[in-house]
A and B are shown apart, each in its own frame.
Chain A
């Protein structure tokens, strides 16, 4: 690989990197939305009043691209209410009142896996989605002809500031990761495993080196230590930096022979294969200037942010923004009743000072946006084309290539809303195309 892609140096703020994760007391209730993933919402299969235990199936996959949901606490289903997702759609959410016991469902047993199909089915039954943040159902991603997979890339980059929950996985859940990798080797015929990790995680690198040493039987392994430069964990960026392969715009990693799994996703699969316990709890980084005791905690999926903050000593000041995930790509919430999702790796309560953005001033054509864009796009030009509502020019500028990493907005000295405009422009182009289709 001759060049590395551009990006920005974000402040790391990995305050919780050395904290071991703490199990918190179960909350009084959990709210489990039927959509915590990309694809069709799950269909509830319990009624109000049903008794459930940890791991009990409460909703079935609502389609091919969908996953089942499981109870994350033991107790009683008290409500099936409407829930407004951050994407703007309304889905049912199952509210479970906890009995405080956290009794696991005794019917759960490790799945019988003896083929690729049974492995994929097991991953589906585990309810696993992409835990790096995207939330794409993992079984769908893996349901490809194994002969097409040249490399299995494990995403250990964790390039967002604050977030350290993947670091926790790498340091403590190597057994689960190993179980999953062995299954992939046996039933998917994986011949080459590549780990991509940022250089600022020394202990985790050591741990991953050991894991690869233990897993190398009959398989090529690589641990690629990459510069701690955002967005190192962007899927296409990581593939390029670990394998040298370029995923063309509009194509998937599998089109160049790669499958990328986040390390925590891998651990969740391994955990299910070993114990039969589906994805019902998450290690979440709780941080931000408004949090009293920033730390990693292990919480049941569906626990409200407010309860999690409370478990971390509460908030010391009024946060300005509360977000799911890191500050570069995270999603703000209107209030802290929002639950922990399967793909929540961090919740941040940021003070006004931490999220202070400078005033927006005219573009001075400094070129920083295009010179930091990992994909070589020209965000300032895209913004101008969007202002003109020029759909043809927008396509010419390869708008669709944008992964919305936010480097352009982060670096812009005029604080122009560049990545934000890209998102709007994508919607605009989609609408224009739909209009064109309508005319035909």
Chain B
């Protein structure tokens, strides 16, 4: 035998899963919502998405270049962050603000903390919260361009009254990617089928919001349904809260995260000064995730507990 044999420690085969493939799956899962957003809010939405994604990727590439780190944009995570941030912005936002948001998400929240896997909070969510606090434009939701609408606020604002059907199709004011429930649910199913995420976190998060809203609305199921279809809940619960890096690892941890985020969301919606609380809720739960992780470890086989 001429060539040397490779010596290595087992295992010698791999499942074939990769970070790149997972990120690609998230992008694919976001496509329905992206397309729906562009249809509902028009070309301006497309411009916001393109610019935010390009900025996110550009900033990460630039950071790696300046700090002489290995280029990481190939793992697609910057695209995911850019796309998620864009889908959380209103279509009529000044374009320069998109660039600032992407800068904050990628440089401050992600790269300065050590890059993918080391950030303690979700970059897209944190940037959204930053922009909400910094820019007034974030609270003036864009209106759908494909239908005549008179209502000017998001359905969560007190004066809004949107039918459940419009909520489901996304024909109301809001951020580009958050309004179309159908598109987001298609993405959810895709992620479940591809086993990128488990059902626990989104279902418990949304279920908690439903339950608490149902209670606060005086046992009104329609109002509770409207509560879960409004604002950024679906996109937040399905795509942002499930970010691996900043959410708990075990099923019970995900359940705890979901309950906490659900309760905080409703409390902010009903008692806070902001109409929407999903971003804040996820951000807060991101911060307590290390604690949740340490409370919800699997029991080790043969050490007291029977099994995981």
A residues sitting closer than 8 Å to B (CB atoms) are 2-3, 5-6, 8, 10-11, 161, 236, 240, 246-249, 251, 318-323, 327-336, 350, 354-358, 361-368, 370-371, 373-378, 398, 401, 404, 406, 409-415, 417, 419-420, 423
Interchain Cβ contacts under 8 Å between A and B, 8 examples: A319-B5, A321-B5, A365-B249, A367-B250, A376-B305, A401-B301, A406-B10, A413-B19
Seed contacts A364-B244, A375-B302; 14 additional CB < 8 Å A-B pairs:
A3-B307, A328-B13, A330-B12, A332-B7, A358-B18, A362-B19, A364-B19, A370-B298, A376-B298, A378-B249, A401-B301, A410-B14, A411-B15, A415-B18
Q: Is B219 an interface residue (CB 8 A)?
A: no
Q: Is B150 an interface residue (CB 8 A)?
A: no
Choose among A10, A161, A321, A366 the residue that contacts B8 (Cβ–Cβ < 8 A).
Answer: A321
Cβ of A419 to closest chain B Cβ, rounded Å? 7
Does the CB pair A161–B244 fall under 8 Å?
no
- Considering the complex, give the chain A residue whose CB is closest to the CB of B5: A322
Given contacts A336-B1, A375-B301, A378-B298, contact A362 B14 (CB under 8 A): no
Does the CB pair B117–A249 fall under 8 Å?
no
Cβ of B295 to closest chain A Cβ, rounded Å? 13
Cβ of A353 to closest chain B Cβ, rounded Å? 11
Cβ of B252 to closest chain A Cβ, rounded Å? 11
Does the CB pair A375–B11 fall under 8 Å?
no
Given contacts A5-B307, A411-B15, A413-B22, contact A249 B245 (CB under 8 A): no
What 1/0 flags go to B6-29 for Cβ under 8 Å of A? 111111111111110110000000
The 8 closest A-B pairs by CB, nearest first: A367-B249, A376-B298, A406-B11, A376-B308, A375-B301, A413-B17, A362-B117, A366-B244
A161 neighbours in B (Cβ, 8 Å): 13
B12 neighbours in A (Cβ, 8 Å): 321, 323, 327-328, 330, 332, 350, 355
Cβ of B227 to closest chain A Cβ, rounded Å? 30
- Considering the complex, give the chain A residue whose CB is closest to the CB of B14: A357
Does the CB pair B22–A366 fall under 8 Å?
yes
Cβ of B72 to closest chain A Cβ, rounded Å? 8
Does the CB pair A363–B11 fall under 8 Å?
no
Choose among B13, B19, B306 the residue that contacts A11 (Cβ–Cβ < 8 A).
Answer: B13
B11 neighbours in A (Cβ, 8 Å): 327-329, 406, 409-410, 419
Given contacts A329-B11, A419-B11, contact A364 B117 (CB under 8 A): yes
- Considering the complex, give the chain B residue whose CB is closest to the CB of A376: B298
Cβ of B239 to closest chain A Cβ, rounded Å? 15
Choose among A366, A371, A377, A404 the residue that contacts B300 (Cβ–Cβ < 8 A).
Answer: A377
A331 neighbours in B (Cβ, 8 Å): 10
A376 neighbours in B (Cβ, 8 Å): 297-301, 305, 307-308
- Considering the complex, give the chain B residue whose CB is closest to the CB of A249: B302
Choose among A330, A371, A409, A414 the residue that contacts B19 (Cβ–Cβ < 8 A).
Answer: A414
Choose among A5, A330, A365, A413 the residue that contacts B10 (Cβ–Cβ < 8 A).
Answer: A330
Choose among B9, B10, B116, B306 the residue that contacts A362 (Cβ–Cβ < 8 A).
Answer: B116
Does the CB pair A249–B19 fall under 8 Å?
no
Q: Is B68 an interface residue (CB 8 A)?
A: no
B4 neighbours in A (Cβ, 8 Å): 334
Does the CB pair A355–B10 fall under 8 Å?
no
Does the CB pair B302–A370 fall under 8 Å?
no
B117 neighbours in A (Cβ, 8 Å): 362-365, 414
Does the CB pair B19–A248 fall under 8 Å?
no
How long is the Cα–Cα vector from A318 to B4 in the complex, in angstroms?
9
B14 neighbours in A (Cβ, 8 Å): 356-358, 409-410, 415
Q: Is B160 an interface residue (CB 8 A)?
A: no
Choose among B6, B249, B300 the residue that contacts A375 (Cβ–Cβ < 8 A).
Answer: B300
Q: Is B67 an interface residue (CB 8 A)?
A: no
B residues 276-308 touching A (CB-CB < 8 Å): 297-303, 305-308
- Considering the complex, give the chain B residue whose CB is closest to the CB of A8: B15
Does the CB pair A320–B5 fall under 8 Å?
yes
Choose among A249, A320, A362, A374 the residue that contacts B303 (Cβ–Cβ < 8 A).
Answer: A249
Cβ of B194 to closest chain A Cβ, rounded Å? 12
- Considering the complex, give the chain A residue whose CB is closest to the CB of B307: A3
How long is the Cα–Cα vector from A157 to B66 in the complex, in angstroms?
54
